[in-house]
């Protein structure tokens, strides 16, 4: 009943959700025949369904390169994340990972569930990697080497200052932005973007994930993963894990708002990066995750549930973002709408309220100055819409029948 209740509350989610379901089915039918490529694309769907959808925007050659770039870095991240692997074992693997991707015989047992399968059968990834063009290989190797070194550094070092936080996020995500810019350039699709803007694209996504995943990371077994910088959280509590306790709820929310405000500093760079993109497929590939990030930050801001469970955008809203994002006008509109939602939640008594409002209003001015705000569908409902519930249920049943028929159709 939960899904039906959400549909009744947001009936305009239904059509985008159906389109998303159909797109997901199409991806399953387009898995390449070669065993190594079949493994890569199947594994991509298992470790990130959203990325597997977004990557479909790209042409075949670039899509293959980005798919492998993602899986190589996901494997590297699996090594870093596995807290059961001893530091003296983990660090040398991280430092040498950029060489392992050229060796189809290499694998390392770590991780859990789908990530364990990725690591156990990494030879498929290496085999596919060796089929890429030299320009793609060199870009992926370079970023993997730099990221592995950065991860190794922060296994031996805690995130103390905001500078440390920015440096860590650069290694694990900013470098992804730099790498993707290199792949777009190697494909002859885009000019090479500046390192600064590319880095901000990665940092905005990574900081959003770190904020959203606080509870999962702090409860990690056998050892907590702690990425929030001490310079921020120590203003509110004595230990980072104290934020999850109910008696610290007020301080926890203030700390959360401080973290969100820190992330907002990257918004303007992200808009500049996306505005410079020329290829429509690359644009959509880059824009959808950024819109999801500002949407997630708006949801997390001033929300104690970040310390109690999972906070994420509803699937119907995600489907809308994927369906609607086609041009820079759509991006400006989405950033304006989600930043408006965040702005409406700012408590004037919050210690960082002035800084938060300043950053939100700066990006809203950029969006207004674009002249795009009158050209898009808003993500904000201006009033409670009245719908005939019987009609909505009937529509939902019809769409469910269509989807069931499509799902039952034999695969080609």
Judged against a pLDDT cut of 90, whether residue 117 lies above it is answered with yes
Mean pLDDT over 100-124 rounds to 96
- 145 and 194 part of one domain: no
**pTM of structure:** 0.89
Q: Which residue has the higher pLDDT, 3 or 50?
A: 50
For residue 106, what pLDDT is reported?
96
384 confidence band (pLDDT: 50, 70, 90): very low
164 domain-assigned: no
> Does residue 386 register a pLDDT over 70?
no
**21, part of any domain:** no
Asked whether residue 249 is assigned to any structural domain, the reply reads yes
Is residue 199 domain-shared with residue 319, that is, in the same domain?
yes
- Tens of pLDDT along 77-111? 999 999 899 999 999 999 999 999 999 999 999 99
Choice among 212, 324, 359, 376 that is catalytic: 212
Known active-site residue 168: yes
pLDDT of residue 392: 55
**Active-site residue among 285, 301, 332, 335?**
285
Same domain, 97 and 200: no
Identify whether residues 325 and 364 lie together within a single domain: yes
Domain of residue 311 covers 187-370
Q: Residue 113: give its domain's CATH number.
A: 1.10.600.10
Residue 312 lies in a domain: yes
Q: Are residues 203 and 113 in the same domain?
A: no
Contact 293, 318 (CB under 8 A): no
Active site residue 99: no
In tens, the pLDDT along 138-154 reads 999 999 999 999 999 99
Q: How far, in Å, are 306, 389, 391, 400 from residue 11 at the CA level? A: 27, 10, 10, 14
How many independent structural domains does the chain possess?
Answer: 2
Mean of pLDDT over the chain? 90
| Same domain flag for 192 and 341 | yes
Tell whether 399 is covered by a domain: no
Is residue 211 one of the residues assigned to a domain? yes
Q: Choose one of 333, 355, 370: the last residue of a domain.
A: 370
- Whether 305 and 219 map to the same domain: the answer is yes
Looking at the structure, tell me whether residues 245 and 366 fall in a common domain: yes
Instruction: Answer with the residue of higher pLDDT: 54 or 407.
Output: 54
pLDDT tens for 214-236 read 999 999 877 788 899 999 999 99
Question: Do 196 and 63 belong to one domain?
Answer: no
Query: What number is the average pLDDT over the span 175-179?
Result: 97
Task: Determine the pLDDT at residue 383.
Answer: 40
Residue of 356 and 404 predicted with greater confidence:
356
Query: Which of 63, 146, 225, 314 is the catalytic position?
Result: 225
Write down which residue in 370, 386, 406 finishes a domain.
370
Catalytic site residue 285? yes
In the chain, the percentage of residues whose pLDDT exceeds 70 is: 89
The tens digit of pLDDT for each residue in 53-84 reads 889 889 999 999 999 999 999 999 999 999 89
From 168, 204, 336, 379, active-site residue? 168
Same domain, 214 and 134: no
More confident residue, 275 or 21: 275
| Residue 24 placed within a domain | no
pLDDT at 1 over 50: no
100 and 219 together in one domain? no
Lowest mean pLDDT among 40-44, 140-144, 396-400, 405-409: 405-409
Q: Determine, yes or no, domain membership for 110.
A: yes
Residues 133 and 214 in one domain: no
Per the annotation, the verdict on 49 as an active-site residue is no
Q: Look at residue 193 and tell me whether its pLDDT is greater than 80.
A: yes
């Amino acid at each position: 009943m939960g899904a039906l209740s959400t549909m009744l509350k947001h009936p305009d989610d239904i059509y985008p959700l159906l389109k998303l379901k159909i797109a997901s089915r199409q991806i399953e039918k387009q898995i390449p025949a070669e065993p190594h490529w079949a493994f890569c694309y199947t594994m991509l769907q298992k470790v990130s369904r959203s990325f597997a959808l977004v990557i479909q925007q790209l042409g075949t050659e670039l899509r293959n390169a980005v798919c492998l770039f993602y899986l190589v870095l996901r494997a590297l991240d699996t090594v870093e994340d596995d807290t059961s692997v001893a530091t003296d074992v983990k660090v040398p693997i991280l430092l040498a990972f950029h060489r392992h991707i050229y060796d189809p015989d290499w694998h390392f047992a770590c991780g859990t569930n789908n990530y364990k399968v990725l690591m156990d059968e990494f030879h498929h990834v290496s085999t596919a990697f060796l089929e890429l063009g030299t320009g793609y290989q060199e870009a992926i190797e370079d970023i993997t080497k730099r990221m592995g070194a950065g991860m190794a550094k922060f296994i031996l070092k805690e995130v103390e200052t905001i500078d440390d936080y920015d440096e860590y996020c650069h290694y694990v995500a900013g470098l992804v932005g730099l790498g993707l810019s290199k792949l777009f350039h190697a494909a002859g699709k885009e000019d090479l973007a500046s390192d600064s803007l590319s880095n901000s694209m990665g940092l905005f996504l990574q900081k959003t994930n770190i904020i959203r995943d606080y509870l999962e990371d702090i409860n990690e077994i056998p050892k907590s993963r702690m990425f929030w910088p001490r310079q921020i959280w120590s203003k509110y509590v004595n230990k980072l894990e104290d934020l999850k306790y109910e008696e610290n709820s007020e301080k926890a929310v203030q700390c959360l708002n401080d973290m969100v405000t820190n992330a907002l500093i990257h918004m303007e760079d992200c808009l500049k990066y996306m505005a410079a993109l020329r290829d429509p497929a690359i644009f959509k590939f880059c824009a959808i995750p950024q819109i999801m990030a500002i949407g997630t930050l708006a949801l997390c801001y001033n929300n104690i549930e970040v310390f109690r469970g999972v906070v994420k955008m509803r699937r119907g809203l995600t489907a809308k973002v994927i369906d609607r994002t086609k041009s820079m006008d759509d991006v400006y509109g989405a950033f304006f709408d989600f930043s408006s939602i965040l702005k409406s939640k700012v408590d004037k008594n919050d210690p960082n309220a002035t800084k938060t409002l300043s950053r939100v209003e700066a990006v809203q001015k950029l969006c207004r100055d674009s002249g795009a705000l009158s050209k898009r569908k808003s993500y904000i409902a201006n009033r409670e819409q009245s719908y005939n519930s019987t009609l909505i249920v009937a529509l939902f049943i019809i769409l469910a029948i269509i989807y069931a028929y499509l799902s039952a159709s034999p695969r080609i």
